[in-house]
């Protein structure tokens, strides 16, 4: 009877030892997986930092390009307005080309032509 109890205790001890070895093996596997996960997290952190810097540079370039096109558009619009104002000023100014043409047309309409005098 004592021998059976001793055998049972040894068997239980072996089972506990096997369970502990399995647990230790699982802990080592988890440690490897956690180490791998930590390495991947570090890589992602570095990649996100690089991405953030790149997006800032690209955003800055796009803002400059947008400003450049706005300045070009404003310059073209300014030149167009200036041309229109100059044309209107020349045409509406007294003694300007527009008034001279209108006066010569009016004078031609009121002055009899030489062909009408012959008749």
Q: Is the pLDDT of residue 83 over 90?
A: yes
pLDDT, position 101: 57
Q: How far is CA 111 from the centre of its chain?
A: 70
Cα-only R_g, the chain: 49
Q: Is the pLDDT of residue 81 over 90?
A: yes
What's this model's pTM, rounded to 2 decimal places?
0.48
Instruction: Write phi, then psi, for 26 (nearest 5 degrees).
Output: -65, -40
- Report the C-alpha gap between 47 and 40 in whole angstroms: 10
- pLDDT tens-digit readout, 8-20: 999 999 999 999 9
């Amino acid at each position: 009877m004592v021998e059976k109890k001793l055998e049972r205790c040894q068997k239980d001890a072996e089972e506990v030892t096997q369970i502990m070895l399995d647990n230790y093996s699982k802990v080592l596997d988890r440690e490897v997986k956690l180490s791998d996960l930590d390495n991947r997290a570090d890589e992602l952190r570095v990649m996100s930092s690089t991405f953030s810097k790149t997006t800032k540079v690209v955003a800055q370039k796009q803002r400059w390009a947008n400003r450049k096109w706005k300045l070009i558009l404003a310059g073209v619009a300014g030149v167009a307005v200036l041309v229109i104002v100059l044309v209107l000023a020349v045409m509406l100014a007294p003694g300007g080309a527009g008034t001279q043409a209108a006066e010569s047309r009016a004078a031609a309409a009121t002055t009899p032509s030489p062909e009408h005098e012959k008749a």
